[in-house]
């Protein structure tokens, strides 16, 4: 019998709205979870919109046009927020010039964002003043997400929105493998022109993981080819979550919740 994720893939076109996708994911077994959001502020964002964003920087903030990062935040906000019981969303940037030593920085320095609307508002406020830099390395953010999971003792979904290839490949690979020891799912959303070969390697391989904890989604490809683009995008982001959540429970990562 086909897995839940395969059934979702096969019947993707039956979802025409984002709330329908959220309801389907809930019915497939996902209950409450925590959310963590990461945004790529590396220099390549300036040129990665040549084909897919009219030659503009992917972080261009304008009143009359949403950039890909803003679209991703809005769509996933509609889909995921209903699963987040406390609505607290740690949101981070990475790859900027100021915080290159730490590897990431909180979007809101005063406190964590509450709800995706605040994530979006904070992104809009902070982004114009961020100095884009390098390298593209997911590892510090993944380790921060692991730390949050350890502290909160609950299942989380880490969403990373990024514009291209990882430059620190080995470090990122090891962080993904390490994350498979915790109740954490990682969704990487590729915005811009790509290429995406390394992301697909992370998605399909890394055999030393204890479960398949990584999902890659090509934002532009889905948004430009689907009849119901936002719903299709949300579906592709979340289609593996039910099976990942099932694997996490089978591995006993959530047993402590029953003891609390």
Residue-level pLDDT, tens digit, the chain, 260 residues: 334 443 444 344 456 676 777 777 777 667 788 999 999 999 999 999 999 999 999 999 999 899 999 999 999 888 888 788 888 999 999 999 999 878 999 999 889 999 999 999 999 999 999 999 988 899 999 999 999 999 999 999 999 999 977 888 899 999 999 999 999 999 999 999 988 888 877 877 788 899 999 999 999 999 998 888 888 888 888 888 888 888 898 899 987 554 32
Complete DSSP assignment for the chain: ---HHHHHHHTGGG--SHHHHHHHHHHTT---BEEEEEEE-BGGGGTTTTTTSTTS-TT---SS---HHHHHHHHHHHHHGGGBSS-EE-EEEESBSTTTTTS-EESSSSS-EESHHHHHHHHHHHGGG--BB-----HHHHHHHHHHHHHHTS-EEEEEEE-S--SSHHHHHHHHHHHTTSSEEEEEEE-SS---HHHHHHHH--TTSSS--EEEEEHHHHHHH-TTHHHHHHHHHHTTHHHHHHHHHHTTTTHHHHH-
Q: How many domains does the chain have?
A: 1
134-144 confidence digits (pLDDT tens): 888 999 999 99
User: Phi, psi at residue 162, to the nearest 5°?
Assistant: -145, 160
Residue 77's closest CA among 119, 126, 26?
119
Alpha carbon distance 17, 22 (integer Å): 9
User: What pLDDT sits at residue 1?
Assistant: 36
Does residue 10 belong to any structural domain of this protein? no
User: What pLDDT sits at residue 246?
Assistant: 83
Does residue 42 belong to any structural domain of this protein? yes
Bridge-partner residues for 254, per DSSP? Answer: none
Does residue 123 belong to any structural domain of this protein? yes
User: What pLDDT sits at residue 79?
Assistant: 82
User: What pLDDT sits at residue 6?
Assistant: 39
Does residue 128 belong to any structural domain of this protein? yes
Does residue 257 belong to any structural domain of this protein? no
User: What pLDDT sits at residue 4?
Assistant: 42
User: Phi, psi at residue 233, to the nearest 5°?
Assistant: -65, -50
pTM for the model: 0.89
Domain extent at residue 208: 33-236
Residue corresponding to tokens 């039956």: 14
Alpha carbon distance 211, 114 (integer Å): 30
Does residue 152 belong to any structural domain of this protein? yes
Tell me the CATH number at 222.
3.40.50.410
């Amino acid at each position: 019998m086909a897995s839940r994720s395969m059934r979702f893939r096969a019947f993707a076109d039956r979802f025409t709205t984002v709330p329908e996708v959220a309801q389907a994911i809930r019915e497939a077994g996902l209950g409450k979870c925590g959310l963590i959001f990461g945004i790529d502020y590396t220099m390549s964002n300036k040129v990665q919109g040549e084909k897919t964003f009219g030659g503009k920087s992917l972080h261009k903030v304008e009143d009359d046009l949403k950039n890909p990062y803003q679209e991703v935040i809005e769509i996933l906000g509609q889909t995921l927020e209903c699963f987040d019981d406390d609505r607290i969303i740690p949101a981070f940037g990475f790859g900027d010039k100021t915080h290159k030593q730490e590897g990431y920085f909180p979007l809101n320095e005063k406190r964590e964002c509450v709800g995706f609307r605040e994530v979006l508002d904070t992104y809009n406020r902070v982004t114009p003043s961020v100095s884009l830099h390098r390298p593209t390395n997911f590892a510090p953010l993944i380790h921060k997400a692991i730390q949050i999971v350890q502290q909160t003792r609950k299942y989380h979904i880490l969403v990373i929105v990024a514009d291209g290839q990882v430059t620190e490949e080995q470090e990122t690979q090891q962080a993904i493998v390490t994350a498979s020891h915790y109740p954490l799912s990682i969704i990487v959303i590729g915005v811009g022109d790509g290429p995406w070969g390394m992301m697909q390697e992370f998605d399909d391989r890394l055999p030393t993981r204890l479960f398949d904890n990584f999902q890659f989604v090509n934002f532009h490809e889905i948004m430009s080819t689907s009849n119901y683009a936002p719903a299709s995008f949300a579906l592709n982001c979340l289609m593996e979550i039910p099976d990942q959540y099932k694997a996490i429970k089978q591995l006993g990562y959530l047993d402590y919740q029953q003891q609390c």
